[in-house]
């Protein structure tokens, strides 16, 4: 809805503004409930569980996709390069199961979720999904006792899990019209009111202008594509050949535009809903080879192994990585004598 994003002057947006006006009382009620819940945590009526290793949460306050998972993967790869043993936690949005599960590269996306499976395959680290990220973290650490840091992919509002650092991701929408659901796109008020003043929340921008004290994330498609069996092919080999592009992500048109920027002749596009079930999808290869995102490939390859996945490379700014490294070092030093998982107010 354009009115959610706070821009546009057409008739549909004018109608949207009227709808926003009538929804505002519900948003105010929602804001009040969020504030009460926050106070209950701050005053110890609800407990947070602190795990024995540092926890970094990558999340957002806006509904819809903002590019969290590629940032999670880039962060995990950086921490691995620093010599740290990393584990990843996730809710596993869209999965058909509800229990706490370990994710392996051979897992099925319908059981563990698209993003956790992509992370497990791409990053080669322990990944656990669970409605309770606390339970998922405990299960992961019980099986992988050498893990030194946990990264939670989406979980900014999952307050039962104590965290040591928050990375809040925004796209070009910013905070939209500034209202909470349902009158706006926000899950909580912005600027955020942290549960603890000792937990920094750093802002990352995947698109649009980065403001003061914000970090700009660079993203670009790889110059190659992969098939299920590991076959690699340069994108330039398709420049003279029509291809079709498929994307079941929050903003499929962005993927299509990035392919065209790479010189691809995208003759046909198929935009699908985020987390769409691709099992029954019909693909007509007579219209050209099929290019998709890595996230789509974790589902598509089970039925269409001939599809080509184009990786998205995400680059985190050096100053952000340096700040994360310094903060982690301080947190790890403070946790050396901590008991194995306890509750704090």
Give the pLDDT of residue 233: 98
Residue 153, Cβ density class (10 Å: 0-12 exposed, 13-18 middle, ≥19 buried): buried
Q: How confident is the model at residue 143 (pLDDT cuts 50, 70, 90)?
A: very high
**Average confidence (pLDDT) over 296-320:** 95
**Average confidence (pLDDT) over 274-284:** 82
Say what the pTM is.
0.92
Give the pLDDT of residue 26: 98
d(CA 72, CA 232): 24
Q: How confident is the model at residue 12 (pLDDT cuts 50, 70, 90)?
A: low
Measure the N-to-C terminal CA separation of the chain; round to a whole number of Å.
39
Does residue 345 register a pLDDT over 50?
no
Q: How confident is the model at residue 2 (pLDDT cuts 50, 70, 90)?
A: low
Does residue 109 register a pLDDT over 70?
yes
Give the pLDDT of residue 24: 97
Does residue 337 register a pLDDT over 90?
no
CB 313 within 8 A of CB 219: yes
d(CA 237, CA 235): 5
d(CA 66, CA 234): 28
Does residue 226 register a pLDDT over 90?
yes
CB 58 within 8 A of CB 88: no
Percent of all residues in the chain with a pLDDT value above 70, rounded to a whole number: 95
Does residue 11 register a pLDDT over 80?
no
**Average confidence (pLDDT) over 81-85:** 98
Does residue 85 register a pLDDT over 70?
yes
**Structure tokens that stand for 192 in this block:** 């955020």
Torsion of CA 153, 327, 342, 44, to 10 degrees: -90
Lowest mean pLDDT among 12-16, 146-150, 179-183: 12-16
Does residue 1 register a pLDDT over 80?
no
∠ CA 149-202-275, rounded to 5°:
70
Query: E strand or H helix at 84, and its extent?
Result: none
Higher pLDDT, 285 or 145: 145
Instruction: Tell me the backbone φ, ψ of residue 206, rounded to 5 degrees.
Output: -90, -15
Does residue 256 register a pLDDT over 80?
yes
Give the pLDDT of residue 328: 97
Does residue 341 register a pLDDT over 60?
no
Give the pLDDT of residue 210: 86
- For all residues of the chain together, what is the average pLDDT? 93
**Structure tokens that stand for 101 in this block:** 């599960």
């Amino acid at each position: 809805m354009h009115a959610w994003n706070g821009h546009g002057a057409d008739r549909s947006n004018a109608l949207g503004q009227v709808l926003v006006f009538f929804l505002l009382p519900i948003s105010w009620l929602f804001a009040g409930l969020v504030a009460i819940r926050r106070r209950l945590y701050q005053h110890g009526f609800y407990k947070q569980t602190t795990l024995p290793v540092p926890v970094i949460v990558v999340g957002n306050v806006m509904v819809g996709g903002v590019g969290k998972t590629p940032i999670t993967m880039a962060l995990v790869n950086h921490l691995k390069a620093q010599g740290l043993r990393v584990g990843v936690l996730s809710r596993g949005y869209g999965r058909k199961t509800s229990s706490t599960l370990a994710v392996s590269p051979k897992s099925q996306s319908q059981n563990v979720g698209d993003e956790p499976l992509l992370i497990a395959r791409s990053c080669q680290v322990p990944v656990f999904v669970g409605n309770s990220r606390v339970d998922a973290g405990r299960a992961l650490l019980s099986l992988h006792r050498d893990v030194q840091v946990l990264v939670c992919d989406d979980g900014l509002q999952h307050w039962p899990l104590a965290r040591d650092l928050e990375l809040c991701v925004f796209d070009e929408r910013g905070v939209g019209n500034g209202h909470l659901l349902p009158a706006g796109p926000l899950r909580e008020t912005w600027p955020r009111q942290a549960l603890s003043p000792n937990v920094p929340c750093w802002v990352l921008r995947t698109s649009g202008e980065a403001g003061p004290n914000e970090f700009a994330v660079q993203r670009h498609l790889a110059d190659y594509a992969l098939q299920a069996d590991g076959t690699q092919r340069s994108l330039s080999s398709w420049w003279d050949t029509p291809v079709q592009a498929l994307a079941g992500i929050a903003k499929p048109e962005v993927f299509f535009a990035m392919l065209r920027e790479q010189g691809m002749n995208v003759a046909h596009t198929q935009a699908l809903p985020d987390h769409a079930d691709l099992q029954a999808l019909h693909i007509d290869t007579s219209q050209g080879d099929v290019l998709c995102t890595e996230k789509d490939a974790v589902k598509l390859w089970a039925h269409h192994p001939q599809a080509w996945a184009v990786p998205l490379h995400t680059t985190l700014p050096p100053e952000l990585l340096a700040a994360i490294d310094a903060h982690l070092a301080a947190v790890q030093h403070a946790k050396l004598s901590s008991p194995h998982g306890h509750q704090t107010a």
